[in-house]
């Protein structure tokens, strides 16, 4: 099991404090996502399509999902809602699987799934090849999951966090870049483990 040394913890804390206090350039990229350089249209060409974020929830996460859909639209993303569509009791694996599937097959750039605690949906999403789901419960865990693990699905526990914190987590998760470097080799090892069990 790898550990984070004191110098790395210090750097992470400094970056988070600088962004929160507005003392320096933020760690995250600008809030409005820009298309990759190779997809920027030539002058006179049609505008690039918005990045798609798939979002889903069970009944426990329905209300937060509806709020976060508005936040995603405000940030300039195209939202693909896979349900649930009301607060009637449903099974979280159905929706977590669909969010993860859309990311896995490339129909969504990233995915967000919300249930009561966020843990169950994270387990389901991580069963889908090509998905690296992470549950975030605060600003730092959202940043860490992107910088260190290159997560492409975020799971949230509606019963554990409030609306304002959920919005902050989503914003920083969507705008934090993967750190690469030594983390890239570790993510490659995650993929290698996954491939051992694919049939």
Q: Indicate yes or no: pTM above 0.85.
A: no
Q: Going residue by residue through the chain, which has 199 residues, state the pLDDT in tens, using 9 for 90 and above.
A: 445 555 565 566 566 555 655 544 433 333 333 333 333 333 333 445 789 999 999 999 999 999 999 999 999 999 999 999 999 999 999 999 999 999 999 999 999 999 999 999 999 999 999 999 999 999 999 999 999 999 999 999 999 999 999 999 999 999 999 999 999 999 999 999 999 998 7
Find the catalytic residue in 10, 59, 97, 148. Answer: 148
Give yes or no: 148 in active site. Answer: yes
Q: What is the dihedral of CA 106, 107, 109, 114, to 10 degrees?
A: -120
């Amino acid at each position: 099991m790898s550990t984070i040394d004191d110098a790395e913890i210090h750097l992470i804390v400094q970056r988070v404090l600088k962004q929160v206090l507005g003392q320096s350039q933020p760690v995250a990229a600008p809030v409005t996502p820009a298309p990759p350089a190779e997809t920027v249209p030539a002058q006179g060409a049609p505008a690039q399509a918005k990045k798609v974020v798939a979002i889903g929830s069970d009944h426990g996460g329905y209300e937060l999902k509806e709020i976060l859909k508005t936040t995603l639209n405000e940030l300039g993303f195209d939202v693909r809602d896979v349900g649930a569509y009301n607060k009637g009791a449903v099974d979280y694996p159905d929706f977590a699987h669909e969010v993860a599937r859309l990311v896995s097959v490339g129909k969504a750039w990233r995915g967000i799934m919300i249930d009561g605690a966020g843990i169950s949906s994270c387990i389901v999403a991580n069963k889908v090849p090509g998905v690296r789901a992470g549950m975030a419960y605060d600003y730092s865990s959202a940043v860490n999951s992107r910088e260190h693990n290159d997560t492409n699905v975020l799971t949230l526990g509606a019963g554990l966090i409030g609306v304002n914190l959920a919005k902050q987590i989503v914003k920083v998760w969507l705008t934090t870049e993967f750190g690469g470097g030594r983390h890239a080799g570790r993510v490659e090892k995650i993929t290698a483990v996954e491939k051992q069990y694919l049939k």
